[in-house]
A and B are shown apart, each in its own frame.
Chain A
Amino acid sequence: QSVLTQPPSASGTPGQRVTISCSGSTSNIGSNTVNWYQQLPGSAPKLLIYSDNQGPSGVPDRFSGSKSGTSASLAISGLQSEDEADYYCATWDDGLNGPVFGGGTKLTVL
């Protein structure tokens, strides 16, 4: 069981906007910044969002992040077929004294 809770699946049609949630607690999301990763089949994860809402260079601005209290969200606008992947949230946990990941959300583009 992951420390951070994500829905196991999400879906949308091309051009749609989808959001993926990540729920934690005061010892992790509530007191630390959140990162989001995209993992395409057979590949290593790729950093999509860091520090709650910052996009690394090269990541399309269709991807955005937000946080409120002990929950965070990843939004993908203008959904494309190549966005079909697994998405993970991650943050530091003060109790465990290390980074923790969500269980991942598999995004399907219908």
Chain B
Amino acid sequence: QVQLQQSGPGLVKPSQTLSLTCAISGDSVSSNSAAWTWIRQSPSRGLEWLGRTYYKSKWYNDYAVSVKSRITINPDTSMNQFSLRLRSVTPEDTAVYYCAREGVYSARGVIITSYGLGSWGQGTLVTVSS
């Protein structure tokens, strides 16, 4: 059974960088059948997919167009975890942030089939305020 444990600050100042980490147990961040994902949820934007990282002979990333210029998702194989960095935050980035495991089938670096987000972290409320 996969478990995801999130950590990181709940308050970030405007223009600074939001950083969260998701520790994985019960699976490997280098798994060929998983994509490691960040999603956020707010009353104004609902559930919003931010991006993912996955391994298929090498590391790949996909990012949402809405945050592509500001986001980085990195795997950490030594700690079996992955992280989210969102730069230049504004109050509109205030949300509950979730990490999740997506079951996938991929080939040649392309995810062909998704089996949904089957495991989720506990969520972290991040408030952007001075």
A, B co-complexed: yes
A103 lies within 8 A of B117 (CB): no
Known: A51-B115, A98-B62. A46 touches B49 (CB 8 A): no
- CA A37 to CA B51, docked complex, whole Å: 18
Q: Give the chain A neighbours of B100 by CB distance below 8 A.
A: 44
Give residues 56-100 of B contacting A (CB, 8 Å).
62-65, 98, 100
Specify which of B46, B62, B120 is in contact with A101 (CB 8 Å cutoff): B46
Q: Give the chain B neighbours of A35 by CB distance below 8 A.
A: 114, 116-117
- Interface secondary structure of B, over-half rule: strand
A96 lies within 8 A of B121 (CB): no
B62 lies within 8 A of A47 (CB): no
Smallest CB-CB separation from B98: which chain A residue? A44
Whether, in the assembled complex, A56 has its beta carbon less than 8 Å from a beta carbon of chain B, the answer is yes
Give residues 38-57 of A contacting B (CB, 8 Å).
44-47, 49-51, 54, 56
Specify which of A44, A51, A96 is in contact with B65 (CB 8 Å cutoff): A96
A47 lies within 8 A of B118 (CB): yes
Total residues of chain A contacting the partner, CB 8 A: 24
Whether, in the assembled complex, B122 has its beta carbon less than 8 Å from a beta carbon of chain A, the answer is yes
- Interface secondary structure of A, over-half rule: strand
Q: How far is the CB of A40 from chain B (nearest CB, A)?
A: 12
A46 lies within 8 A of B120 (CB): yes
A103 lies within 8 A of B120 (CB): no
- CA A92 to CA B98, docked complex, whole Å: 18
A44 lies within 8 A of B115 (CB): no
Whether, in the assembled complex, A33 has its beta carbon less than 8 Å from a beta carbon of chain B, the answer is yes
- CA A100 to CA B100, docked complex, whole Å: 15
Whether, in the assembled complex, B27 has its beta carbon less than 8 Å from a beta carbon of chain A, the answer is no
Known: A33-B114, A50-B115. A44 touches B122 (CB 8 A): yes
Q: Give the chain B neighbours of A54 by CB distance below 8 A.
A: 115
A101 lies within 8 A of B47 (CB): yes
Q: Give the chain A neighbours of B103 by CB distance below 8 A.
A: 50
Whether, in the assembled complex, A24 has its beta carbon less than 8 Å from a beta carbon of chain B, the answer is no
Interface residues of B (CB under 8 A from A): 46-49, 51, 62-65, 98, 100, 103, 113-118, 120-123
Interface residues of A (CB under 8 A from B): 2, 33, 35, 37, 44-47, 49-51, 54, 56, 88, 90, 92, 96-101, 103-104
